[in-house]
Amino acid sequence: MNVNYLKVFVTVTAVLVMTSISVHATEMSDVRHVSGEIGWVDIQLGQLELNKETPRGTKTIGYRISQNETRVTDPADQKFLSIEDLRAGQYVTIDVIDGQEDKIVQKIVVDPMPVSEYQVAFGVLKAIDVNAGTLTVEERVRIGQVEQARDSYFVFDPRSIVVMHSPSKQPVELVLKPGDVVKVEYMLLDGKQQARYITLYSPVVTSTTTTTTIITTTK
């Protein structure tokens, strides 16, 4: 009787194991890899928007993310990352299971951004013109042992500029005005300093003065 019970137990266990393997294999076969640029990410809300290029233009797709359930890694799967490391402008690949697009993303692969691609300017915003796509920052730089101020001029595309507020890494609608402390990440293009990211460090203060608004939008 004990032998028969053991046979039944082994048989049932084997069936459960095979069923589990079958379900796992089915899920793995339904995984799709969706690549694009992060347009917006909110860590607290657990939401991420991906801008994916298609033959018909840019398509924005929303995903759910979680600190405990979403694994973030580099392409070699060697770096320990988290959703706090995600930022707007990064190119990523998201694993999506067909039929479960509304569930929390299990894995995000972050493509490395070349360190030498962008240079950084830090200082006080002196002027900005959204229509012309220009801005001026007064930088504090050390020449020898003396700190001096110099004006740096940048151009930008209002349709693609990414604007963030420190310490958050999520792009938001910001009101930028002269006197704001900002960091500008830029690259040299056609002899001009092309700005791609602006981070606002000074606190947002409600004011009646004339301001310039940059709205981060997707096509």
Task: Give per-residue pLDDT as tens, 95-150.
Answer: 998 888 889 999 999 987 554 467 888 899 999 998 899 999 998 765 555 667 88
Residues 6+ apart with CB under 8 A from 207: 177
Q: What is the pLDDT of residue 26?
A: 41
Q: What is the pLDDT of residue 9?
A: 47
Question: How many whole angstroms separate alpha carbon 88 and alpha carbon 90?
Answer: 6
- Residue 15: left if φ>0, alpha if ψ -120 to 50, beta else—which one? alpha
160-179: average pLDDT: 76
Question: How many whole angstroms separate alpha carbon 75 and alpha carbon 90?
Answer: 13
Using 50, 70 and 90 to split pLDDT, how confident is the model at 169? low
Q: What is the pLDDT of residue 19?
A: 46
Question: How many whole angstroms separate alpha carbon 20 and alpha carbon 27?
Answer: 11
Q: Higher pLDDT residue, 209 or 74?
A: 74
Domains of the chain, start order: 33-110 (2.40.50.320), 119-214 (2.40.50.320)
